[in-house]
Chains A and B, each alone.
Chain A
Amino acid sequence: MNTATLKLAAAEKADSKSKAKAVWNYNNNTCFLLKMLLTAAGFIIAIVVNIFFPQKAAVEIKTYIVSIFAFDISLTMNDAYIFLLAALAVVYLVSGLSSWSDKDSRKKYSKNAAFRFALGIAFALWDIGGTKLQLFAQPFFPGPAQVAEAYLADGEYVLQNTLYSLRLYAAGFSCGVLLGVGTGILIGWFPKIYYWVFPVLKITGVVPAVAWMPFALTLLPTSFTAAVFLIVICAWFQIAFLTAQGIQSTPKQSYEAARILGSSSPDLIFHVAIPHAMPDIFTGITSANAMAFTTLVMSEMLGQPGGLGYYINQSKVWSAYYKVLAAIVIMAVLFSLINHIIGRIQKHTLRWQEGVVKK
């Protein structure tokens, strides 16, 4: 065998190898299609179970009249539940289709397929255990259809409370971020302010914000402003603390380089210290965000005329645990969404870090 044939054989071998590799992964259209079907299959199974599994336990299935665009539609809790499952299946199928031509999103989608399938199966099992057979202790562990019923029964009310929570969160957290970043910069930049303010911040910062509630409720004009105040201070301290740290850790050489290039003092703050502190500021914002959720729900439970926390409290009084769960589901979705948005902003702002910091 001469070298040419050897090379040829090697090339052929490599070729067949790469072909074998390409055959069965997310790059293959058939395989990806199967992954999409697998993703949807779990939810479809859950729908099938809901329709065909006999209702053994004595659960009253009420019919609700819901008016959508002036049409009155009568729905039972099972209809609502099936609708939600179908919506999930459709959303995932559409996202599969939209990632059809992008390699990275294909890979990600394929990776998630098994989990999403399992999610559908979990729904089916929960449905059987919670509603169909009622194997779990009632009324503490209602089935998924009963949770969906809460949205039918209280739809508008739940929406109102969600918006109330959102408004409270937005007002409190945005003020908290602004104040936190502002004071953090002042503390980090001016040694005098650091000397007088930082110890106060350090000591009061460890006190959970809700501890101030009695004062907030008596001293502030409305319960809304009281709750805003609590969220503000819980975000404020955390963010100010980390911002100050970020400003102070700016290397001396960066300031020197900037000064020689012609930066004035304000320029040093806005173009050197703050950009340098940005990663720390975002660490502060993310951790403050988690605390803000806690403070939000707690203050709603303890003294608000509305909000998801208030709704939970009110439902608990009537032992309507399915409503409690319904509110928890909304919180999970809403707070994840907020986290996701903050994460996106962070990723965009700190894009210069990509590849430096392992995430």
Chain B
Amino acid sequence: MKAFARLLERLAFTPARNAKLTILSHYFQTTPDPDRGYALAALTGMLDLRQVSPSLLKRLASERVDEQLFRLSYDFVGDLAETIALIWPTETQVSTEVSLSQAVTLLRETGKLALPGVIAELLDRLTPPERLALLKLATGNLRIGVSVRLARAALAMGTPRGSEEIEEIWHGQTAPFLPLFTWLAGGPSPAAATAPFRPVMLATPITPEELTSLDPTEHIAEWKWDGIRVQAVAEGGVRKLYTRAGEEISAAFPDIIETMTFEGAVDGELLVRRGAETAPFADLQKRLGRKAVSRAMLQSHPAALMLYDILTWNGEDLRALPLSIRRSRLEAAQFDSPRIELSPLLPFKTWEELTEIRAAPHSPVIEGVMIKRLDTPYIAGRPRGPWFKWKRDPMVIDAVLLYAQSGHGKRSGFYSDFTFGLWEGEELIPVGKAYFGFTDEELRELDRFVCKNTVQRFGPVRQLAPKLVVEVAFEGLNVSQRHRSGIAMRFPRISRIRTDKPATEADRLETLRAML
């Protein structure tokens, strides 16, 4: 448990992706089975444990610690599991280590009534960092920002396998992942799962200038839908819906699963569609991240698939075929549901024609166009070339910088996290935060501005004299109750520093509202 506790602690304080990868891969390389497999499951949310409630933990603590001292400590620490981990009295340090797999087994197999006693006994045997790791596991609340994708990239490091290969065999593997680790070390392939996820092919951005060097007759174009990329797999009687990262979301979309009466794996966009009308992304968001979905939600927010590729069909793997053939196989395939449609091909002969089409989408929920080369197979990952996304131009607004906070990693010591606002009457209302979009040179310029124009400090946050106007680009707006402005921006970034513009001429909140 010591190594796992140290791992969680390092990950919790390490913001940079590369450093996280290093820490994870060292852990996987130096930790024995089955502990590393349980750690992998815990990090990627694949460990199914009996959840311990905060009230049970509070009760356990109250049996060991004076209530008033506990309250004072909790007020200072601000996190229940952490307070208990730190305050739990230990008489003497027990020498035998509790392994992660022992802890997991205990949490898994202990009945509800015996659970408090088992947890107290474990806490007695652990050091404070281990206690925190145990309590975070038991409350199902690791919160350390490790995605499945990141974990897989770390697993691949220093092994003969690539992370796409791992993605291919990932499904069907469960804790403690013994066959997976054997295979990573050069052993035989683990047994294939039924209806597995297949790594997806991704597009790279392109500019109009770059487009001119391509031959339009060798490419097709489709709308870029503003939903989420999914893979729908129905094979051998098993139906699964995956995100493009390979996370299974079947439970949240029973309406889609029901329509998957085919035998194969198809690639497309998940949308909320009411009749022929595609709903905004915010509607789809309401359906995401749920373990179950209510009947009312299924009625009011019906999901649909807009397909654009086909990976397997009736047992045949089509991925090695060129897109031209795959597209005709997709058009020939039978789907028995009005909730499954094919993403139409856009009619164009020249890039000028496509430019016009892109400028006038039939629906506001189109994010731009996708351009795909006809002669290439389905290649996992993000190869530069065969697939491009040509996004619609972002919306922009001129806002005033209000607050700054310093960044992490290579931006340590630089003010790189900015809050900006728009005018409402005589007041500037914060409307969003941006962390990127600027060049390194602009970052230094912004940093100098922050250092010279701080009017007040709140811990790590600096309030700035409202002087500097920045152009903020963003991809869309949602109504939000959580923001004072009533609006949440999608993907905001600082696209230009407008030293030419006085703060009084920055945009007004009404302007942003009108863009909704």
A and B: bona fide binding partners: no
